Amino acid sequence: MNAKARTAVVTGAAGGIGRATVDLLLADGVSVLAVDRDVSALAGSPARVVEADLAAADAPARIAEAARALGPLDLLVNCAGVGGSRRLAETDDALLDHIVGINLRAVLRLTRDLLGQIRAPGGAIVNLASVYGEVGRIGTTAYAASKGAITQVTRQLAAELGPQGIRVNAVAPGCILTGMTREKIEGDREYAATMVGGTPLKRIGAPTEVAEVIRFLGSDAASFVTGQIVAVDGGWLTSRGTF
């Protein structure tokens, strides 16, 4: 990050891609507000911390209030997300509300409530999409729908906020080893065969490899990049025909 990018809010900040992003930004000297529903893993971090369930009615207002202490906001990273998706016939209302509530609705609510604090011109938003938002895959209906929506939200907001000088992009991770994916990678042979075997680079990605792209998209090095969905997937989307 350059000297101009000094403040950031990162959700889903306690683990996986979110924590890797927080650590990279802190190493760059950025003042980070780290948001998660369980912040115990952030103990000792120099980041400012807010414990919040993003689905709660008061979460956006609480986060916005905490972010004011940072001054104008240079970067918002909407990283929080949940999995656990199933086929639609097996998806009850509670699961649907949980997945869509965190992966989509919470992103819209928080972004809306922080818009007045994002530096204009010069601010940036990076959303977490997914390769599953780009292709069909059995058993991921609600999750894939929520991530496909994030892809469109990213493009929509890039168009809406571009005239103010605010850039909006997304990363679409493929098979990345996080707490959320470890069980699937290690315990589901079909998943491992599809996600690892179907990746041209023939390996699992690391959270830091996604965080590096987030850092780039939030920096002035990407000052003419907006409305883009950047796959960080080892080439998995190029092999979609091998499913």
Question: Are 9 and 64 spatial neighbours (Cβ–Cβ below 8 Å)?
Answer: no
**Pairing relation of β-strands 48-51 and 167-173?**
unpaired
Q: How far apart are CA 31 and CA 28, in angstroms?
A: 9
**Pairing relation of β-strands 7-11 and 31-36?**
parallel
Using CB atoms within 10 Å of the CB of residue 88, give its burial: 0 to 12 exposed, 13 to 18 middle, 19+ buried. exposed
Residue with tokens 């999409």: 129
For residue 11, the cross-strand partners are 35
Backbone dihedral angles phi then psi of residue 142, each to the nearest 5 degrees: -65, -40
Q: Which residues participate in catalysis according to the annotation?
A: 143
Question: Are 163 and 195 spatial neighbours (Cβ–Cβ below 8 Å)?
Answer: no
Q: How many CB atoms lie within 10 A of CB 193?
A: 11
Strand order in the sheet with 229-232: 48-51, 31-36, 7-11, 75-78, 124-128, 167-173, 229-232
